[in-house]
């Protein structure tokens, strides 16, 4: 007779989302990072994504991936490789997946508004971006005149930038963050405009604040 190890029941997170079978992840990681990060997701944003089921396997079948997600009839299934990753980075990877998923269900008017915002940044000569992958895509877009005119290149850049901005927006609602400076980073005024745009679309829930109170 074969004896299988007991399977831990899924844990309920904020918004009715589920964390499936986190048997290899320390309880404090879930308590101090995964739960607070999900709790910071505005209700309006969570409603757009519908039901999310998150799992934290040690690794994924494709070892080159740190995460992956798939859209389902009822929402999204998200997998995050948890072995050997910093616990804070694990939560940020989750938020990045949520940003990628949100792009897929964004309204056309939202996508166009974000593309317009990026166009204004490019027109102003802003060289930096919010994180490394977005920066790479921006540099590819601007590498030649032909590339800069490509709608496909623009949308690929917009997709990565949008996802990273969503992640940073929720990150800011979760806890205080430090804005990095330098030519490779997005200038603070540009970051402020992006975050304010998402705050209009998906207002912070009670108890979460994007910007500090004015003195």
Residue 40's CB is within 10 A of a number of other CB atoms, namely 22
DSSP symbols for 74-105? TEEEEEE--TT--HHHHHHHHHHHHHHHHHHH
| Residue 29: pLDDT over 50 | yes
Domains of the chain and any CATH numbers: 11-105 (3.30.2010), 108-201 (no CATH)
Reported confidence tier of residue 23, pLDDT bands at 50, 70, 90: low
Q: How many residues does the chain have?
A: 215
What the block records as the tokens of 200 is 């209009």
- Measure the CA–CA gap between 141 and 133, rounded to whole angstroms: 12
**What pTM was computed for the model?**
0.92
- Contacting residues for 112 by C-beta, under 8 A, at least 6 apart: none
What are the tokens at 170? Answer: 């929720």
What mean pLDDT is predicted for residues 137-153? 94
Model confidence band, residue 2 (pLDDT cutoffs 50, 70, 90): very low
Euclidean distance between CA atoms 164 and 102, whole angstroms? 11
Task: Give the tens place of pLDDT for each residue, 54-81.
Answer: 999 999 999 899 999 999 999 999 999 9
- In this predicted structure, the answer to whether residue 4 has a pLDDT above a threshold of 60 is no
pLDDT at 214: 57
Q: Could you report the per-residue pLDDT of 79-101, keeping only the tens digit for each?
A: 999 999 999 999 999 999 999 99
Residue 136 backbone dihedrals phi, psi, to 5 degrees: -60, -45
CA neighbor of 95 nearest in space, from 109, 113, 75, 80 = 80
- pLDDT tier at 6 (50, 70, 90 boundaries)? very low
Mean pLDDT of 131-135: 96
**Separation between Cα atoms, residue 161 and residue 131, nearest integer Å:** 8
Q: Stretch 185-205: mean pLDDT, rounded?
A: 96
Average pLDDT of the chain to the nearest whole number: 92
pLDDT at 197 over 90: yes
Band of pLDDT at residue 213, cut at 50, 70 and 90: low
3 pLDDT exceeds 80?
Answer: no
């Amino acid at each position: 007779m074969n004896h299988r190890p007991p399977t831990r029941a899924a844990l309920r997170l904020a918004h009715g989302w589920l964390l499936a079978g986190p048997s290899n992840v320390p309880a404090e990681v879930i308590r101090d990072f995964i739960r607070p990060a999900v709790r910071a997701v505005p209700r309006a944003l969570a409603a757009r994504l519908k039901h999310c089921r998150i799992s934290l396997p040690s690794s994924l079948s494709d070892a080159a991936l740190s995460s992956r997600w798939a859209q389902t009839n009822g929402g999204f299934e998200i997998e995050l490789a948890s072995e050997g990753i910093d616990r804070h980075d694990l939560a940020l990877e989750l938020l990045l997946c949520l940003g990628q998923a949100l792009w897929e269900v964004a309204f056309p008017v939202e996508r166009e508004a974000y593309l317009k915002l990026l166009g204004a940044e490019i027109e102003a000569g802003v060289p930096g971006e919010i994180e490394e992958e977005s920066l790479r895509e921006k540099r590819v877009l601007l590498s030649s005149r032909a590339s800069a005119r490509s709608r496909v290149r623009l949308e690929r850049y917009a997709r990565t930038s949008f996802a990273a901005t969503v992640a940073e927006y929720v990150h800011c609602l979760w806890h205080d963050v430090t804005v990095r400076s330098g030519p490779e980073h997005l200038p603070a005024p540009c970051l402020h405009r992006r975050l304010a745009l998402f705050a209009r679309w998906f207002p912070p829930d009670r108890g979460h604040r994007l910007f500090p109170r004015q003195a």
